[in-house]
Amino acid sequence: MLKIASLKLDNPLVCAPLAGVTNLPLRLMAKRHGAALVCSEMISSNGLIRYQKKTMELMASKEEERPLSIQIFGSDPGVLADSARIVAEHGADIVDINFGCSVKKVLKGGAGSALMADLPRAEKILKEVRKAISLPFTIKMRSGWDASGDEAMALGRIAQDAGVDAVALHPRTAKQGFSGHSDWSQIKRLKQELTIPVIGNGDVTKPEHVLEMMEQTGCDGVMIGRAVLYAPWIFRQALCLLENRPMEEIDLDDRKKVLFDYLDDTMDYLGEEHGCRVMRSRLAWFVKGLPNAAKFRGEITRIASKEQARDLIEEFFRSIEKRREEAPAASD
């Protein structure tokens, strides 16, 4: 179990915020597969205080996915405090601030990882937001602008002193993006520095990595990001290992259900026309490593209706079953 302030989570597994990806349908998927906490994609604080329609829509939620962490970003302490109030009013269970994004547009505005190079401003932001809300308050950061991790340690101490309730660390530098490898030793170091919960993130691509990270670093929770895009069942498999149970095998029926559920939820969320445009690329995420996946990826780029998408999914899995049935005969 992971406890963040007054919020008690069922297990230590968290679905990471991913810009442009972790919308309501994907969060529902992660939740159904065992994530104790799901996080929104990062939301502009400037957009929130202006109540911009598209920005506000990013907070769309369902009771099924609770508890929900909503992540905001920005560089102005007052604006971030006001946007945190808005997030709280819209039913978030946790308010999170992004200190890790290294996309040029975000950095240019002084937000994300840029704040790790301006710790006085970061401290002011944390104090202003803490005063503005009573909800559990967390931050997500990188190791900083160099590989030493000193900026992350400094920001972690500042956050704890400012009343932040938990810190998530992705131990890559801002310059690395997603290249190279994350340095889990930085997570261990941060855990030794702080008394509030530390959530580790980075290069958790297999269920076994959850145990390895917790054992190597002593972290209180594990945040899983990109692996959710092709193996959302990683949460339930990791839970098996955490509970000393045999790890569940994922069969074709499990995979097919993932595609159907994601399709249905996306169509409900976006509508059929917009949903089809999105599904033309995203359905391909969940067939990684399966036979005929390349053909399927090509076929779904032309879907124009939910019914057509369902037919292509059915046909794809039938082709795999047929291939498996024919395999023994072919080897005789």
In the chain, where are the structural domains located?
Answer: 2-242, 252-331
Q: 85: burial class by Cβ within 10 Å (0-12, 13-18, 19+)?
A: middle
| 192 labelled binding-site residue | no
Percentage of the chain with pLDDT > 90? Answer: 89
Q: Give 179's pLDDT tier (boundaries 50, 70, 90).
A: confident
> Binding residue per annotation — 170?
yes
Is residue 41's pLDDT more than 70?
yes
Q: What DSSP string describes 43-98?
A: EEHHHHHTT-HHHHHTT---GGG-SEEEEEE-S-HHHHHHHHHHHHHTT-SEEEEE
Residue 124: count other Cβ atoms within 10 Å of its Cβ.
Answer: 17
pLDDT value of residue 290: 92
140 is in an annotated binding site: yes
- Kindly report the CATH number that applies to the domain delimited by 2-242: 3.20.20.70
Neighbours of 161 (CB within 10 A): 11
Cα 116 from chain centre: 21
Q: What is the set of active-site residues?
A: 101
Predicted confidence band at 320 (pLDDT cuts at 50, 70, 90)?
very high
Q: Determine the pLDDT at residue 77.
A: 97
What pLDDT is recorded for position 329? Answer: 53
Strand 13-15 to 68-73 pairing = unpaired
Closest CA to 313 of 302, 330, 300: 300
pLDDT of residue 1: 83
2-242 and 252-331: identical CATH topology: no
Q: Rounded CA gap, 16 and 308, in Å?
A: 31
Q: Angle, nearest 10°, between helix axes 207-217 and 234-242?
A: 50
CA distance 156 to 159: 5
Helices 252-270 and 24-32: angle between axes, nearest 10 degrees: 150
Q: Which of 152-161, 261-270, 320-329 has the lowest average pLDDT?
A: 320-329
Q: Residue 34 annotated as binding? A: no
pLDDT at residue 283 above 70? Answer: yes
Answer whether residue 180 shows pLDDT above 80: no
Give yes or no for residue 295 having a pLDDT over 50. yes
Residue 331: band (very low, low, confident or very high) from pLDDT cuts 50, 70, 90:
very low
How confident is the model at residue 330, as a pLDDT? 47
Q: Is 225 labelled a binding residue?
A: yes
Which tokens in the block code for residue 171? 């131990």
Contacts of 329 (CB under 8 A, 6+ apart): none
Task: Check residue 325 and give its pLDDT.
Answer: 78
**Residue 167 burial (CB < 10 Å; 0-12/13-18/19+)?**
buried
208-255, pLDDT tens digit by residue? 999 999 999 999 999 999 999 999 999 999 999 999 999 999 999 999
For residue 105, pLDDT beyond 80:
yes
CATH of domain 252-331: 1.10.1200
Name the phi and psi angles at 94, rounded to 5. -140, 140
Q: Which residue has the tokens 């530390």?
A: 198
Beta bridge partners of 168: 140, 199
What's the pLDDT score for residue 332? 44
**Mean predicted lDDT score pLDDT of the chain:** 94
* DSSP character string of 147-198: TT-HHHHHHHHHHHHHT--EEEEEEEETTTTT-S---HHHHHHHHHH-SS-E
pLDDT value of position 22? 95
Q: Assess whether pLDDT exceeds 80 at residue 177.
A: no
Determine the Cα–Cα distance for residues 73 and 82; give it in Å rounded to an integer: 12
Give the pLDDT confidence score for residue 176 in this predicted structure: 79
Average pLDDT estimate for 78-96: 97
